[in-house]
Amino acid sequence: MLRIKLQRTGKKHRPSYRIVVGERANVNEVLGSFNPAAAPPHLQVDKKKVDYWVDRGAKVSESVEKLLKGKYEYKPYVPKKAETSEPRSETSPQESTSAQPTEETQTEASDTEKTATG
C-alpha cells in the first residue's frame, strides 16, 4: 500500500523531514520537505504531485495531512532531568578501599599478632 509520509533526515537533535511516497522503506518519489527547526518552520510541497499520488490510491499519513492543512505543531523532545537520591562522594571507591583497611583485615591482623607473640 502506497503511503505519503515523513522521512526523517538531518542531524541528531536537529531533525528535518522529506515528504515522500512509497511502501514501508521503499521511496518512489520525494514530494517536498519540512524543516521544523527553522523559525518559522519551513514547508515546501509540490501539491500537484500529492494530488497525483492520492488519485493513484496513496494514503496520506496523519502528520502529513496536518502539515498540508496547516494544523501541525512540532514538539521538540525535551529529556527529563535525572534525579539522584544520594550525592556523589568526592573520593573514588578505589581510593577509599585502599586507604582504609576493613574490619575483617584488622581483626585478622590482631589474631596473627597474638599467635606470634603468645
**What are the residue ranges spanned by the domains of the chain?**
3-69
- Cell numbers that stand for 86 in this block: 544520594
What pTM, to 2 d.p., does this model score?
0.62
For residue 68, the number of C-alpha atoms closer than 13 Å in the C-beta half-sphere is: 19
Topology at the third CATH level for domain 3-69: S16 Ribosomal Protein; Chain: A; (3.30.1320)
Helix H segments across the chain? 47-55, 62-69, 93-99, 103-117
* pLDDT tens sequence for the chain (118 residues): 899 999 999 998 899 999 999 998 899 999 999 999 888 889 999 999 999 999 999 999 999 999 999 888 777 778 888 665 555 656 655 555 555 555 555 556 556 555 565 5
In angstroms, rounded to a whole number, what is the distance separating the alpha carbons of residues 71 and 67? 6
